[in-house]
Structure formats: C-alpha cells, structure tokens
Amino acid sequence: METIKSLEKISFDSLSESFAEAFKDYDVHISKNELKIMLSRRGFVPELSFGAFDGERLVSFTLNGIGNFNGAKTAYDTGTGTIKDYRQRGLATKIFEYSIPVLKKAGVTQYLLEVLQHNTKAVSVYQKLGFEVSREFNFFVREMDKIILGKCKMPSEYELKHIGLEYREQMMNFWDFEPAWQNSFDSIMRRLPDFMLLGAFEDLKLVGYCIFEPITGDLTQIAVDKKYRRQGIASALLAEVAKENKHSNIKLINAEIGCVSISEFAESKGILLKGRQFEMIRQL
C-alpha cells in the first residue's frame, strides 16, 4: 500500500532517480544537472510537492513550483510521473487530490500545468479533475549543426550588446503573447546568472532582444519591435546564441500556437516543430 506525503524530506538524489525511472520509456531525457536547473528555475517547493511512497521508495510524484501567474498565487506542475510498475493505480490522481487542501492552506488559488496534446489519456484525466485549456503552445527543437543561420547580416545601424533586466518594460512591449510559466521573468530571475541576455540597439533604443540559457540550449524569449522586424535582427540574435550554446540542441519551448512570427522564424531557421502542448488551469 503506497503512502502519500510531501517531498519535504526527500533527498535530491532519490528524487532524481525516481524522475529518471518514471520517464525512461518516454521521449524525455533530462540529466541530473538539467533536472536541478529546471526545478530551481520553475520555483520547485518540496514541502508543497507530493509523492506516493512504497516504503522509502518514491514511485509516483507531482513536483510543484509556487509563484504568481496572472496576479494569483499559483501552483505549477513542473513534473508529474509514475514508475512503470506502479501505473494504472490512479496514483497521480490520488496525489493531486491529497495536495489540494494543503495548497489551499498555503494560499494557492489556482493550479497550472502543461500537457502534451497527443497524450490524450493525461488530458482526459486533467479535464476530469476540473482543468480547462487556457492556451495552446508549439515547441520547436533542432540539433545545432542543422540550424540554418545563413549569411543574413543585421544592418550596420544596429548593434548587439549584452544587457540586463533593466530593459524589462521595453521587452514586454515587443511581445506577441505572454510567456509561459517557465519562460516568464519570474522564472528567469530565479536563475539569472545562468542566462545570456542580448539586446539589439538603434543608437540607445532597444529594438529587439533574446534571453538564452546556454547550459540547456533553451531560447527562453526572443522578440523584436514590430516596427523593426524582417531586417535580420532576430537572425543576428540567433547567430550570437549559436556561438554561446553549450547544448547539442536549440529549444524554443511554449510559443503560442497562433504566433505566426515565431512559427515562421523557427521554420526559416530549420528549427523543427517537435510537438504541441495544452496549458491548463484549475481554480482552487
């Protein structure tokens, strides 16, 4: 009989072993270090995350990030998994139901998650638990040596510079959509030293930027002022990213499905559409 409790006392080594075991037959390959970075960036709170234990072994889990989303204190499912031999027992649902009163007591008012659209079984489970689709996302992935950088050069009147988040307000004016949880400024700020921030300037005016995590290959944000698009600015930013990338892939995760500018840019650079996700929310 499995026991459900918080993950407050579990070691990271045990958590990482269970995570790897739960996802070994999925198309998810995350190293121990990448898992540590991912959990930190997404705001993982062990005491508000929960798992099913068989004795001392963690066999099913939901790893929750806690933060603000659309102005409300939110729990974000940063990873739910069950070890193969323990599936078909409803453990993920039991963990979720166990977590709700604890999260409410902690002041959480909504629960947010993302789920692969082709995982129809999981989508159905979440819908039965009261989650509703709020947005649809594309995600793009490509091996570094297959990205099409071309010879497109940014006009000489523009200059690339390393910047910080002091330009945050200007950056937001360039957006075609609000970033997903993992790409938000809150998530970036949790591990700011891991990121490279580049700005494209016309004299002293910021006209485009990107935020990139070289360790994971994650192109977290990229946007150009609408008045300055199709002038090679995004291409120049990507070329600079490619020089600094320490991962074998470039990943552009959770771009809103209706954002034609991102889809066309990714396609033009050979960064392939890998899949689609639903963003889902339930009020608590």
Average pLDDT over residues 234-250: 95
Residues in a beta bridge with 67: 74
pLDDT score of 156: 87
Of the CATH numbers 3.40.630.30, 1.10.150.120, 3.40.309.10, 3.40.50.970, which one belongs to the domain with range 140-276? 3.40.630.30
| Among 108, 10, 105, 20, CA closest to 50 | 10
Average pLDDT over residues 94-120: 97
| Among 284, 281, 275, CA closest to 114 | 281
Helix, strand counts (H, E) of the chain: 8, 12
Average pLDDT over residues 151-165: 88
Q: Is the pLDDT of residue 153 over 80?
A: no
Choose between 30 and 8: higher pLDDT.
8
Residue ranges of domains in the chain: 3-108, 140-276
262 burial class (0-12, 13-18, 19+ CB within 10 angstroms)? Answer: buried
| Eight-state DSSP code of residue 98 | H
Both structure tokens of 284:
């608590």
CATH code of the domain occupying 3-108: 3.40.630.30
34-93 tens-digit pLDDT: 899 999 999 999 999 999 999 999 999 999 999 999 999 999 999 999 999 999 999 999
pLDDT score of 30: 83
- Virtual torsion, Cα 74, 79, 85, 89, nearest 10 deg: 20
Would 3-108 and 140-276 be classified into the same CATH topology? Answer: yes
Q: What is the pTM of this model?
A: 0.92
pLDDT score of 152: 65
pLDDT score of 28: 65
- Virtual torsion, Cα 84, 88, 89, 93, nearest 10 deg: 100
Q: Confidence band (pLDDT; 50, 70, 90) for 255?
A: very high
Cα angle, residue 182 at apex, residues 104 and 194 outer, rounded to 5°: 125
